[in-house]
Amino acid sequence: MKETYRAVEVCDRVYWVGAVDWGVRDFHGYLTSRGTTYNAFLILADKITLIDTVKAPFKQEMLARIASVVNPRDISCIISNHAEMDHSGSLPWIVEAVQPEKVFASVNGVKAIADHFHMDREIIAVKDGETLRIGNMTLTFVETKMLHWPDSMFTYLGEKELLFSSDAFGMHLASSERFADELDDSVLEHEAAKYYANILLPLSPLVTELLHSVGGLGITINTIAPDHGPIWRKDVNRPLDNYAKWAAQKPTNRAVVVYDTMWESTAAMARAIGEGLTAGGTSIRLMPLKSCHRSDVATEVLDAGALVVGSPTMNNNMFPTVADTLTYLKGLKPKNMVGATFGSYGWSGEAVKQMTEMLRAMKVEMVDEGIKVRYVPDGDALAQCRSLGQRVAESLAEKCK
């Protein structure tokens, strides 16, 4: 296998030894349209060290990449930055295969690895700020609790000014290129934003704190090596600046209109609301849920200042697709948004009230109680929808001042 799978040099003495998953499309509810990578890294210090592992089905691929540069049995230390199984799934197997002297994780990581794998093997806990000499090089550990699991941490390799950032600054993007500077900028921007919106958005206050505390460490970062997607070896301020911007969640003059429809009435209302928003000077994204995935809606919401939601009433409830998307968005805790609701109904019409309550629970500032239309909207009803769009645009313009 080592003749097939090769390690990729990140910088002198540091190699990428991960795996590319071209086919994965679901990542706990997130549509990974471009697949992903599980990045693991090998440091050829005096004590050879492996940073993270890969999802279990890719363990042989990782081992072969390691074997292309060293005898895997020469690995002395394994660092587990994060216990989620896309990074730890191969840990018990690789520990068995290479018999390292020591395995390290954060304090919470030790507990999480025990609860996942019930291994008969000591995992050594490292604390925030602790350093570890691996012969001629030094690792420093930075706890990043709840970014995005309690066990998450970064590992910094001082001699190379290289930050192994676990899930942070990553993206779900399968590619043959290993470095961000080899990839198309618009793809990087979109996939990084999608990843932040779907994974890190609810943790934005912690992201802001983390950026301050990493800034306060006084370390130089020349390379950021995340556990998913490409490695940042040029322009490392770009992912840092993006995270600062996304964590701030400042409202922008863009509205997302997300809806589903039974017989095109709610869709007609959505289009009329979109016309009103546009007339009011707001840029819009109309997202019918028959063709838009919840994780793409979350991506658009990241850069938006207004969320307008539409649903027909079915069996006294909002449509299942709308409930799915709102439940998902509620968990992501978008902030600083104005909003409105709308929908058609036949006889009971509960959906608009339900959606309004849900958006209020998300602290979205509602412009009113929403618009309900019985069966099919006529010209007057569509004019009301257009007017609703204009009022959302006005409210958003005010908020953006």
Q: Is 86 a residue of the active site?
A: yes
Helix (H, G, I), strand (E, B) or coil at 270: helix
Comparing CB distances to ligand FEO, the nearer of 243 and 342 is 243
User: Per CB under 6 A, does 148 bind ligand FEO?
Assistant: yes
Q: Which H or E run contains 77? A: strand 75-80
Q: Which of 21, 52, 151, 167 is catalytic?
A: 167
Comparing CB distances to ligand FEO, the nearer of 86 and 303 is 86
Closest CB 192 distance from ligand FEO, rounded Å: 14
Residue 215's CB: how many other CB atoms inside 10 A?
11
∠ Cα 248 306 288 (to 5°):
120
User: Per CB under 6 A, does 143 bind ligand FEO?
Assistant: no
Closest CB 315 distance from ligand FEO, rounded Å: 37
- Interatomic CA distance for residues 21 and 89, integer angstroms: 14
User: Per CB under 6 A, does 300 bind ligand FEO?
Assistant: no
Residue span binding ligand FEO (CB under 6 A) among the ranges 81-89, 111-119, 289-297, 324-332: 81-89
- The residue within the footprint of ligand FEO, chosen from 86, 143, 260, 300 (CB under 6 A), is 86
User: Per CB under 6 A, does 82 bind ligand FEO?
Assistant: yes
Q: Is 28 a residue of the active site?
A: yes
- Which are the contacts of 185, defined by CB distance < 8 A and separation ≥ 6? none
Tokens 């840990």 -> residue:
91
Q: Which of 86, 143, 151, 191 is catalytic?
A: 86
Q: Which of 38, 52, 151, 228 is catalytic?
A: 228
- Nearest residue to ligand FEO by CB is 84
User: Per CB under 6 A, does 84 bind ligand FEO?
Assistant: yes
Name the DSSP letter for residue 291: T
- Interatomic CA distance for residues 309 and 299, integer angstroms: 16
Q: Is 148 a residue of the active site?
A: yes
Residue span binding ligand FEO (CB under 6 A) among the ranges 82-90, 110-118, 311-319, 357-365: 82-90
- Interatomic CA distance for residues 284 and 286, integer angstroms: 6
Q: Is 228 a residue of the active site?
A: yes
In the range 212-231, which residues lie near ligand FEO by CB under 6 A? 227-228
In the range 162-191, which residues lie near ligand FEO by CB under 6 A? 167
Q: Which H or E run contains 186? A: helix 185-195
Closest CB 164 distance from ligand FEO, rounded Å: 13
Residue span binding ligand FEO (CB under 6 A) among the ranges 80-88, 97-105, 232-240, 242-250: 80-88
Closest CB 199 distance from ligand FEO, rounded Å: 7
Residue 162's nearest CA partner among 118, 76, 218, 222 is 222
Q: Which of 30, 52, 61, 82 is catalytic?
A: 82
Tokens of 100: 């390292």
- Interatomic CA distance for residues 3 and 130, integer angstroms: 38
User: Per CB under 6 A, does 233 bind ligand FEO?
Assistant: no
Asked if 389 and 280 count as a contact pair (C-beta separation under 8 A), the reply is: yes
Is residue 87 left, alpha or beta, with left meaning phi > 0 and alpha meaning psi from -120 to 50? alpha
User: Per CB under 6 A, does 194 bind ligand FEO?
Assistant: no
- Whether the ω angle into residue 148 lies within 30 degrees of 0, i.e. cis, is yes
| Count of CA atoms in the C-beta half-sphere (13 A) of 243 | 25
Closest CB 242 distance from ligand FEO, rounded Å: 18
Q: Is 264 a residue of the active site?
A: no
Q: How many chain residues interact with ligand FEO (CB under 6 A)?
A: 9
Q: Read out DSSP for 112-181?
A: HHHHHH--SS--EEE-TT-EEE-SS-EEEEEE-TTSSSTT-EEEEEGGGTEEE-TTTT------S--BGG
Closest CB 170 distance from ligand FEO, rounded Å: 7
Residues that bind ligand FEO in the complex, under the rule CB under 6 A: 82, 84, 86-87, 148-149, 167, 227-228
- Looking at the annotation, which residues are catalytic? 28, 82, 84, 86, 148, 167, 195, 228
